[in-house]
Amino acid sequence: MKGQTAVITGGGRGIGKAIAEYFARRGVNIVIVDVNLDIATETAGQIAALGVKSLAVKADVSKSADVSAIFESAVKEFQKVEILVNNAGITRDGLIMRMSEEDWDAVMNINLKGTFLCSKEAIRVMAKQRYGRIINISSVVGFMGNAGQANYTATKAGVMGLTKTIAREYASRGITANAVAPGFITTAMTDALPENIKSEMMKVIPLGRFGTVDDVAAAAAFFASPDAGYITGQVIHVNGGMYM
Ligand code: NAP
């Protein structure tokens, strides 16, 4: 992976930042994409301190003009993009009867349409290179369902269908597409949950702990590595056994 370029959406913090650091420690140059330029710039600075090149790009993955600009900047800076990690994602939870159309659309636009738009632009670059690795971040709840997350679970299941279609359409161009489906991972988002919810969740995790951002990054790095060259259209579940 040394010397390759990875575009990581939502790379400013959380799981995306951990993936960026994990890849950077393996010599990959990193494009950090985030809606918040300050966070993207700060993280890109930390990545550069690991001895690789980095670039911060402010973009909303749900806007096609922003997404085109991500790949224009990436190619201008690094001439190529071997790896795309579609990690940017949001939640707007609520039971179906109370879920607004705005909350449905917001989650669809960022989690699912954003993955489509970024993949489409990446494929343009990767098809010319005849090499690419697309890694989409799904979620355990896209496979299990989850009360209060109709919009989110639909996008995360949708990401899996999209992954398999990219895998079929672009295998002949040397592009693989795979997904990582994290379970309960400790991030700022999950830290904020009440203790009683966290202890209930712990009961259904056979390995008896919440996941770390590095648990997810390791699975993403495997898909990005040459070792995964014969694997496409697949998912790795990183969930401590809560879904099998
Ligand atoms: P997070 O801490 O909220 O980070 C998400 C990142 O995406 C943030 O940097 C955010 O930027 C950015 N982002 C949001 N909207 C964006 C947009 N429209 N365009 C570009 N970037 C955008 O979330 P996380 O926990 O690391 O989750 C990362 C991914 O893993 C998501 O797809 C999530 O669904 C998935 N996942 C997480 C868990 C978990 O337990 N944490 C479990 C399963 C799956 P701002 O901060 O500036 O808004």
Atom of ligand 1 nearest to the CA of 62: 18
Model pLDDT, residue 192: 79
Model pLDDT, residue 189: 73
* Residue among 116, 131, 108 at smallest CA distance from 166: 116
Does 190 sit in the ligand 1 pocket, CB within 6 Å?
A: yes
Q: What is the pLDDT along the chain (244 residues), one digit of tens a residue?
A: 999 999 999 999 999 999 999 999 999 999 999 999 999 999 999 999 999 999 999 999 999 999 999 999 999 999 999 999 999 999 999 999 999 999 999 999 999 999 999 999 999 999 999 999 999 999 999 999 999 999 999 999 999 999 999 999 999 999 999 999 999 999 887 887 889 888 998 999 999 999 999 999 999 999 999 999 999 999 999 999 999 9
Question: What proportions of the chain, in percent to the nearest 5, are helix, strand and coil?
Answer: 50, 15, 30
Does 136 sit in the ligand 1 pocket, CB within 6 Å?
A: no
Pairing of strands 175-182, 83-86: unpaired
Q: Residue 222 Cα, ligand 1 centroid: separation in angstroms? A: 21
Distance (Å, whole) CA 145 – CA 221: 27
β-pair partners for 32: 8, 56
Q: Residue 127 Cα, ligand 1 centroid: separation in angstroms? A: 27
Model pLDDT, residue 228: 98
Query: CB of 83 within 8 A of CB of 4?
Result: yes
* Domain boundaries of the chain, sorted by first residue: 5-237
- Domain 5-237, CATH among 2.40.110.10, 3.40.50.720, 3.40.250.10, 3.40.640.10: 3.40.50.720
Reduced to 3 states, what is the DSSP secondary structure of residue 100? coil
Does 232 sit in the ligand 1 pocket, CB within 6 Å?
A: no
Atom of ligand 1 nearest to the CA of 12: 9
Does 149 sit in the ligand 1 pocket, CB within 6 Å?
A: no
pTM comes to: 0.98
Which residues are known catalytic residues? 152
β-pair partners for 135: 85, 178
User: Buried b vs exposed e over 87-113: b needs ≥16 C-beta within 10 Å?
Assistant: bbbbbbeeeeeebeeebbebbbbbbbb
